[in-house]
Amino acid sequence: MKLLTHNMLTSSIIKGVKKGFPLGIAATDIKVSEVDFNPDFIKKMIPKLEWSAICEAAESIGHLDGLPKELAPDYETDEDFLKKAHHVIMEVEIKEGDLICPETGRKFPIKNGIPNMLLKEDEV
Amino acid sequence: MISIQQQLSERAIELLALPEDTPCFILDVGCGSGLSGEALTDQGHVWIGVDISSSMLDVALEREVEGDVILGDMGEGMAFRPGTFDGVISISALQWLCNADKTYHNPPKRLYKFFSTLYSSMRRGARAVMQLYPENSDQLELITRQSMKAGFTGGLVVDFPNSTKAKKMFLCLFTGGAPQQLPCGLGTPGANPQQTQAAFTSKRERMQRIRGKPPKKSREWILEKKERRRRQGK
C-alpha cells in the first residue's frame, strides 16, 4: 500500500468512530519500487493531501527521505520537491504490518500490500 | 469474458467524462483482478481498487496492476476522506449488495451506507458510473432509490436496450455541482441528439398503406382504375 492510499484511508466506517484519521502504521516490511514520475498528477494531488499526515506517516516508517515538513508556496515549480513527493507518496509501499485506528486502537492487518478493512458484525 | 469486461470498463470511463489530458484519481469499486483498473492506467489515471474477494485481489497482485487494492466490503461503507476522488467506476459489482449473505445483512441499509459514504468521498461535481446486472426491476429500483436518498442525482443509461445480449446498464450518478445532462445510451434513438421527439407522420398516408388501396374518387384511384381497365382491354 502506497502512502498516497494511506493518506486517503480512514477508519470512519467503524461504528462510533468520527474521523478515524490518520491511521497509525506499524510496518514490518517496506518495499520501495520505481513508479513513473508524473509531475501533473503530483501537482494536482498535493492540495488534496493532508501534508502533515504524509510527513508523519513517512517519518514513522523511516522514509521521510528529505521531504520538507512545510509546503513551500511555490512548490508547483520546484521539480526537485515534486520528485521527492512522488517518491514518498507513490514509491514507498507498506507490504506487511498493521494500520491502527487512532480512536479505538483497532488493527487492520496489511498482508502482501493489501490492507484488510473488513469489519466484524458488531463494528458495522 | 476478458474482452467484455474491458469493453464495459472503457465505456464506463467514457461515461465518466473526465477532463482530457489530466491525470485523475479514481476509485474502482469491486475491482476484482484489476481489469478495469488497467483500462484506467492505460488512460493515464491513478486508481485505488476495493474488493471483497481476497483471492481476486491476489490475482490482481500477480498481474502487477498499478493501483493499490484494498480488501473491503462496500456494504460496510467506503472508508475514505471526504472529497478524495475525481470519479468512481464499478463493473458488474453493485447487484451483489442486494444479497444478504449473512444473517445481519440488510440490503437497503447496506446500499444506503455504501452510497452515502461514497458520496462524501467524491469531489463535488464528480461522477460515479456503475455497470450492473440487476436480477429484476425491483432490485434496480431499490438501488436507484437508495442512491438518490444518499444525495446523488443522475440515473440509468442503457446501451442497446433492444438487444438481449448487448444490453448493458450503467447507473450514472452525479454529486452536486453544476447540473449535468445524463448521457445517452448507445443504440438508442436518443443517441442522435437532433432526434428528441418522434417525427411527424401523416396519419392518412399511413392508413392508405395499410389498406393498400387509395381512397375512392381520388386521383390515384382514378389512375389505378383506368390502368386496370386498360389492361383488361376495355
Nearest to B166 by CA among B46, B49, B4, B12: B4
CB pairs under 8 A between A and B: 79
**Which positions in chain A touch B70 (Cβ < 8 Å)?**
1, 5, 9, 114-115, 117
Closest CA in chain A for residue B57:
A114
Q: Residue A121 is nearest to which of B52, B77, B104, comparing CB atoms?
A: B104
- Mean pLDDT of the B193-199 span: 53
Q: Edge-to-edge strands of the sheet including A107-111?
A: A24-32, A92-100, A107-111, A114-115
Q: Do B61 and A112 touch (CB under 8 A)?
A: yes
pLDDT above 70 (res B205) = no
Q: Residue B81 is nearest to which of A10, A114, A119, comparing CB atoms?
A: A10
Q: What is this structure's pTM? A: 0.84
Question: Quick check: ipTM above 0.90?
Answer: yes
Q: Do A48 and B104 touch (CB under 8 A)?
A: no
In sign, the C-alpha dihedral spanning B138, B143, B148, B150 is positive
Q: Residue B76 is nearest to which of A7, A114, A119, comparing CB atoms?
A: A119
Q: pLDDT tens-digit profile of B1-40?
A: 568 888 999 999 999 999 888 999 999 999 999 999 999 9
**Distance, CA of B73 to CA of B57 (rounded, Å):** 13
Question: What pLDDT score was predicted for residue B177?
Answer: 67
Looking at chain B, the domain(s) classified CATH 3.40.50.150 span: 2-188
Q: Do B79 and A20 touch (CB under 8 A)?
A: yes
Q: What pairing do the DSSP bridges indicate for beta strands B168-174 and B122-132?
A: antiparallel
Q: Do B52 and A8 touch (CB under 8 A)?
A: no
pLDDT above 70 (res B201) = no
- Mean pLDDT of the B88-104 span: 93
Least confident of A35-49, A66-80, B96-110, B169-183: B169-183
- Mean pLDDT of the B73-99 span: 94
Q: Do B78 and A13 touch (CB under 8 A)?
A: yes
Domains present along chain A, CATH in parentheses: 3-118 (2.20.25.10)
Q: Edge-to-edge strands of the sheet including B85-91?
A: B68-71, B46-51, B25-29, B85-91, B122-132, B168-174, B153-159
- Mean pLDDT of the A75-92 span: 93
Residue of A89, A91, A99, A117 best to disrupt the B interface, most CBs of B under 10 A: A117
- The torsion angles phi and psi of B209, rounded to 5 degrees, stand at -65, -35
3-state SS assignment for residue A46 = helix
Q: Residue A118 is nearest to which of B61, B72, B104, comparing CB atoms?
A: B72
**Which positions in chain A touch B57 (Cβ < 8 Å)?**
114
Q: Does domain B2-188 have CATH number 3.10.290.10?
A: no
pLDDT above 60 (res B214) = yes
Closest CA in chain A for residue B114:
A13
pLDDT above 70 (res A41) = yes
Q: Do A118 and B52 touch (CB under 8 A)?
A: yes
Q: Do B68 and A2 touch (CB under 8 A)?
A: yes
Question: What pLDDT score was predicted for residue B203?
Answer: 56
